[in-house]
A and B are shown apart, each in its own frame.
Chain A
Amino acid sequence: MPKLRGGLAAVAFVCLVANAHGQSADPMAVGRQMLAEDNPGELWVERGKMLFYQKRGPKNTSLETCDFGLGPGKLEGAYAQLPRYFADTDKVQDVESRLVTCMVNLQGFTYQQAIKDHFGTLDRMSDIEGLVAFIASRSNGMTMNVPLIHQKEYDTYKAGEYIFYRRNGPTDFACITCHGDDNKRIRLQDLPNMTDRKQIQAVAASWPAYLGTKSTVLTMQNRLYECIWQMRLPDLGYLSDMSVALTSYLNRQGNGAVIQAPGVKR
């Protein structure tokens, strides 16, 4: 993987420079800063914007009237309050399940058509990833503020908390196993301690994110799918109650974070 090797060399170079100057306590931060300034995730935002206003689907309509919780078509700040309860579907929905609801109801796609290719690969880009990057970026600079007003919002949050701490599967893993202490790593990747307010806020603020190693934007659904896979549990169903519950718990814990999406990661 020439791409990966290039990335490592670049990081090593940054470390050398930082050490030579003796300025940075965290040499990796310099590299991350350099990445953030030229985030290819911006290209996904542009693509998502194009898709959002384009007339698509059997009903040949755009997503402009989609209600993400603040009223039809109001995107500014909507992502900052997701997941939340929606009366029309009688469900707590995250940004992706809401988006799919709109694709089905407004644009006339079938559910299967809407969620087809939900995760992008190297061979084809996913429309959902672009759209989610665009919608999330409309809340940039705003504070994460996930509501727990409706009973179902509270129940979903509590379910997420339960799952987060629940040990499962052949390796007896819970989310907390890796995300409960400071300074844990998997190889070179720092693992955020999600019981720490500051660190969980940093997580909530920076997803969806562009991943250099995958050359694509990953949504939270995709990230959680990978976590569950890494824990050797059965595949996490796309838009499943479990994924929404975990998102609800994590975003709520991240309340107060200033959103800066899409983030950029290794």
Chain B
Amino acid sequence: MAEPMKIRATLQGDVADVRILMLHPMETGQRKDAKGDIVPLHFIQNVVVTHNGKVVLDAQWSQAISRNPFLGLRVKGAKAGDKIGVTWTDNKGDKRTDEAAVAAAAS
């Protein structure tokens, strides 16, 4: 079940401050459930951030990233209205893509 992400992008000068919240269990493979069985590894393996379709970040993640992860980055040369796209893929092949427009700087 890939739930939607929450993406916020605000302009600060010519740099867009991008903040992404993802909903994901990020199981480490070490936790045991109520029955004592090990909960299998389940984590986001790959995160790609695009700016108007151009890849600006391509990250490989491990199970060391926390549950419901937060990712923040700054994109240079962004303008208000530009599209920031985020795609994650986890180790079970589950995938989710969301998009947000860069908002003008809050005055």
Contacts and interface: CB of A to CB of B under 8 A. Distances in A.
B28 A47 contact: no
Given A123-B33, A215-B66, 17 more contacts: A2-B28, A2-B30, A2-B64, A3-B67, A37-B19, A40-B21, A40-B70, A42-B21, A43-B3, A43-B6, A43-B68, A47-B23, A122-B31, A122-B67, A123-B34, A215-B67, A215-B68
B96 to A, nearest CB: 12
A93 to B, nearest CB: 29
B40 interface: no
Interface residues of B, number: 19
Contact of A42 (B6, B31, B72): B6
A215 B26 CA distance: 11
Interface in A14-54: 37-38, 40, 42-43, 46-47
A46 B3 CA distance: 10
A3 B66 contact: yes
A40 B68 contact: yes
A169 interface: no
A38 B72 contact: yes
- List the 6 closest A-B pairs by CB distance, nearest first: A215-B67, A40-B68, A38-B70, A43-B23, A42-B6, A3-B66
Interface of B: 3-4, 6, 19, 21, 23, 25, 28, 30-31, 33-34, 39, 64, 66-68, 70, 72
A40 B4 CA distance: 12
Interface of A: 2-3, 6, 37-38, 40, 42-43, 46-47, 122-123, 215
Contacts of B34: 123
Contacts of A122: 25, 31, 67
A3 B3 CA distance: 21
